[in-house]
Amino acid sequence: MNRSSYGWNVLLFVLTFFTLTFQDDIFRIPYLNFAAISEIFRIRTPYSFSLLGILFCHEMGHYLAARYYGIKSTLPYFLPVPFSPVGTMGAVIRIKEPIRNKIQLFDIGIWGPAMSLVLSIPCIVIGLYNSQLVSLAERTAILQAHPELMDIHFGDSILTYLLSQKILGPFDASLFTVEYNPLAFAGWVGLLITALNLLPFGQLDGGHVVYSLAGEGYRKWIYYLFSAFLLLSLWNYSWILWGLLIYYFIRVEHPFVPDASYPIGKFRKIFGWGMLLSFLLIFPISPITVVSSSGAKSSLGEDLWNILLEVFSK
């Protein structure tokens, strides 16, 4: 790797640190005094450092597995997003030569999400002990008093719902929401990024793993699974964008990789299917919802669900 490549790695890392720390305040920095900037650093750097650590370890899981097999790859490139409430689109490494067989593909693909999953769970567990419940009625009253404001609701997966109910509850999720502290929020984002990477399509980590385990036969049913994924847009319209990204750029099918000269083995099968099943626990159907003074607009899927509940309750 030449020096210019290291320069891009460092520059994107620094930019991502700033977008994680300042988020939508980043373009206000020239107008903020030193005390305000120091306060933002004090409050948000636990989130920035924690999430950067999760992302770095995720990508190093891929990188070290690739290096183990003697496959050239780059160090992580972090992806800053200044206007996002999250502050990043994650990080990537680039594999610079072909992966020789499905066992190498499996090991390179799985160790990234495995690392971020292992690190995200303790972050959200420890962070929840320092988080608090907030009344939705109070938030609605604030929005109605200040119509120019908007609130952002971070949705639950099965795992985050169970953890928040255990640590902060029990509570009625229709009356209260969790206000994550910075460490818990880093864990929530880490789980979201892990879940997105575990989607079983194309060049995503989950695509590497499911293709390694199921082999060429998976091409017979992967488009049915992709069609089922598109149905999630009934609950959150952002999945339409993800569907387009997967179809046109990431691709639904994985490119051909030869089988290894020996079986993939029982351990890898249990490890791989276990990671893919963990997706069901950590995937939030509606990850981010913007709430205005008129409230959160219900999705088509929620409306259909409520209609079914009314029909069958009569």
Judge whether 240 and 304 are in contact, CB under 8 Å: no
Could you tell me the pTM of the whole model? 0.91
Residue type at 177 in one-letter notation = T
pLDDT band at 33 (very low <50, low <70, confident <90, very high): confident
DSSP letters along 292-309, please? BTTBPPPPHHHHHHHHHH
Tally the C-alpha atoms within 13 A of residue 286's C-alpha that lie toward its C-beta: 18
Q: Are 74 and 93 in contact (CB under 8 A)?
A: yes
- Is pLDDT above 70 for 297? no
Give the number of other CB atoms < 10 A from CB of residue 298.
12
Runs of H (alpha helix) within 199-297: 205-214, 222-230, 238-245, 266-282
User: Distance between CA atoms of 305 and 195, rounded to whole angstroms?
Assistant: 24
Q: What one-character DSSP code corresponds to residue 291?
A: E
Identify the pLDDT of residue 5. 65
Q: For 52-75, what is the mean pLDDT?
A: 96
- pLDDT tens digits, one per residue of 242-282: 999 999 999 999 999 999 999 999 999 999 999 999 999 99
* Tokens matching residue 152: 């952002």
- Of 106-110, 190-194, 290-294, 306-310, give the lowest mean pLDDT range: 306-310
Question: How far apart, in whole angstroms, are the C-alpha atoms of residue 278 and residue 298?
Answer: 27
From the CB of residue 27, how many other CB atoms can be counted at a distance below 10 Å?
A: 10
- How much is the pLDDT for 314? 58
Beta bridge partners of 295: 292
Above 70 in pLDDT, residue 296? no
The structure tokens listed for 266 are 């029982």
As a whole number, mean pLDDT of residues 206-219 equals: 96
37-51, 100-114, 127-141, 300-314, range with the lowest pLDDT: 300-314
The first and second tokens of residue 21, run together, are: 């720390």
Domain ranges of the chain: 6-313
pLDDT at residue 299, as a whole number: 67
Q: Is residue 287 within 8 Å of 162, Cβ to Cβ?
A: no
Average pLDDT score over residue span 177-205: 96
In this prediction, residue 1 has a pLDDT band, given cuts at 50, 70 and 90, of: very low
Chain centroid to Cα 28, Å, comes to 27
Q: Would strands 132-135 and 88-92 be described as parallel, antiparallel, or unpaired? A: unpaired
135 in helix, strand or coil?
Answer: strand
Average pLDDT for the chain:
90
Q: How far apart are CA 5 and CA 94, in angstroms?
A: 11
Higher pLDDT among residues 287 and 310, named by residue: 287
> Are the C-beta atoms of residues 287 and 236 closer than 8 Å to each other?
yes
| Cα–Cα dist 233/104, whole Å | 34
pLDDT for 169 beyond 60: yes
- Higher-confidence position of 18 and 289: 18
Q: What pLDDT shows up at residue 108? A: 98
Q: Give the dihedral sign, CA 145/174/186/63.
A: negative
**pLDDT score of 300 more than 80:** no
DSSP designation for 78: E
Least confident segment among 135-139, 148-152, 270-274: 148-152
